[in-house]
A and B are shown apart, each in its own frame.
Chain A
């Protein structure tokens, strides 16, 4: 099987949009609500999850024929937890400021349903390379949604992007105000709903 066969490309590309883990499989919603107030933490979070899900998929796929069936969830959990701990330690050592910003959310990657979902549904049944691609695809799919939601939330709640002022001061003088509702988790849910609405309106075949 070639490295970029149709199946492998499919494993990588389909989670980016048509089979997006957040909008189609409705996984990882909790963290999508929590870390999307500002763009920077959302980017780092998306990147961390991508690395972890890709490597975890790879490791579990390599081990898949040796894992005893009865404790397979525990084995997957240990792999994920070990990777999350390593990422969190590395962030603390080399990107201290970002790790302070993300605080508990890095540790909470363990509870991200995308990870266990992909390990159980894909890595346990497929080879290492396509599992790795599947992990990358799902991680990026998750990151894309996070970044879109965080983009809208930061822009309208603070008038900034990545901390830089975007909405000029003169607009405020005309009575424009930052939208405090954007800071609240329910707004992230509404935005997610809008993305899902848009996605399904564009692709009627996705509707049940």
Chain B
């Protein structure tokens, strides 16, 4: 057969494309459930690790349902919009809306008998999105724990925001001073910030550190009316 004829080439390409399309569609749909499960499980892990819960080897789904008691949605004035649904909220979608229309997810948790509030935050790093969860004590000001992650920050530099030395600076810091929301500042190591609590940024990861600073300020700032209650 002449494999160089136009007809042969076109038929060959069409058949190949159809076969590959079916193959990929089959693989994708058969793995979809498993992947979604992983994504959900990963989100639960992130929330739990903001609460300083040891998740090594634990059944994450069960641990999560034991610790997270309520998942309400708030509106920007601090009132409860819906009793359920915080888990399904995509912060990226919400951040695109004007503040008054946003659904603000809140996770109310019980850790060792104490109430903790977990607030998700979402922002921009140097190369892509960064996000995290901030756990507050029931005074709604003292940070209990944080979790940060990123899509594509530079390993060893900006990506260090996920590291324990960086995150361990946060617990105990206050996001409000005398009833006013101040957030927590990220400063150049060695510098100080007047009138606010601060932590050291990442050397060599300045833009990412500034991104975390802005993310905390904007992300937690959305909840300011809830925090004042």
Q: Given that A66-B3, A78-B16 are known contacts, is A90 also in contact with B155, CB under 8 Å in the complex?
A: no
B192 located at the interface, meaning its Cβ lies under 8 Å from any Cβ of chain A in the complex: no
Whether the Cβ atoms of B204 and A85 lie closer than 8 Å is no
What CA separation (Å) do A86 and B3 show in the bound complex?
29
Q: Which of B27-35, B49-57, B101-109 contacts A (4 or more CB under 8 A)?
A: B27-35
Of the residues A69, A86, A157, contact of B156 by C-beta under 8 Å: A157
CB of B45, distance to nearest CB on chain A (Å): 9
Q: Given that A92-B35, A96-B38 are known contacts, is A71 also in contact with B152, CB under 8 Å in the complex?
A: no
B23 located at the interface, meaning its Cβ lies under 8 Å from any Cβ of chain A in the complex: yes
What CA separation (Å) do A93 and B42 show in the bound complex?
12
Query: Which residues of chain B are within 8 angstroms of A103 by Cβ–Cβ distance?
Result: 151-152
Whether the Cβ atoms of B12 and A180 lie closer than 8 Å is no
Interface size on A, residues (CB 8 A): 28
Q: Given that A78-B16, A89-B31 are known contacts, is A104 also in contact with B152, CB under 8 Å in the complex?
A: yes
A167 located at the interface, meaning its Cβ lies under 8 Å from any Cβ of chain B in the complex: no
Closest A-chain residue to B11, C-beta based?
A68
Output the residue of B41, B154, B156 with the most chain A CB within 10 A.
B156
Whether the Cβ atoms of B38 and A92 lie closer than 8 Å is yes
Whether the Cβ atoms of B204 and A180 lie closer than 8 Å is yes
Q: Given that A78-B16, A103-B152, A104-B152 are known contacts, is A94 also in contact with B24, CB under 8 Å in the complex?
A: no
Which chain A residues in 95-119 approach chain B with CB under 8 Å?
A: 96, 100, 103-104
What CA separation (Å) do A103 and B162 show in the bound complex?
15
Closest A-chain residue to B17, C-beta based?
A78
Of the residues B12, B34, B154, contact of A93 by C-beta under 8 Å: B34
Which chain A residues in 65-88 approach chain B with CB under 8 Å?
A: 65-71, 74-75, 78, 82, 85-86
CB of B206, distance to nearest CB on chain A (Å): 14
What CA separation (Å) do A139 and B38 show in the bound complex?
29
Whether the Cβ atoms of B31 and A37 lie closer than 8 Å is no
What CA separation (Å) do A131 and B27 show in the bound complex?
25
Q: Given that A66-B3, A75-B16, A82-B20 are known contacts, is A92 also in contact with B31, CB under 8 Å in the complex?
A: yes
Whether the Cβ atoms of A69 and B4 lie closer than 8 Å is yes
B157 located at the interface, meaning its Cβ lies under 8 Å from any Cβ of chain A in the complex: yes
Whether the Cβ atoms of B4 and A70 lie closer than 8 Å is yes
Q: 0/1 per residue, B82-93, Cβ < 8 Å to A?
A: 000000000000
Whether the Cβ atoms of B155 and A69 lie closer than 8 Å is no
Query: Which residues of chain A are within 8 angstroms of B41 by Cβ–Cβ distance?
Result: 96
Whether the Cβ atoms of B13 and A71 lie closer than 8 Å is yes
B79 located at the interface, meaning its Cβ lies under 8 Å from any Cβ of chain A in the complex: no
Please give 6 more A-B residue pairs, beta carbons under 8 A apart, in addition to A37-B155, A90-B27, A93-B34.
A74-B13, A82-B23, A93-B31, A103-B152, A104-B152, A158-B156
Binding site for B on A (CB under 8 A): 37-38, 65-71, 74-75, 78, 82, 85-86, 89-90, 92-94, 96, 100, 103-104, 157-158, 180, 183
Binding site for A on B (CB under 8 A): 3-4, 8-9, 12-13, 16-17, 20, 23-24, 27-28, 31, 34-35, 38-39, 41-42, 151-152, 154-157, 204
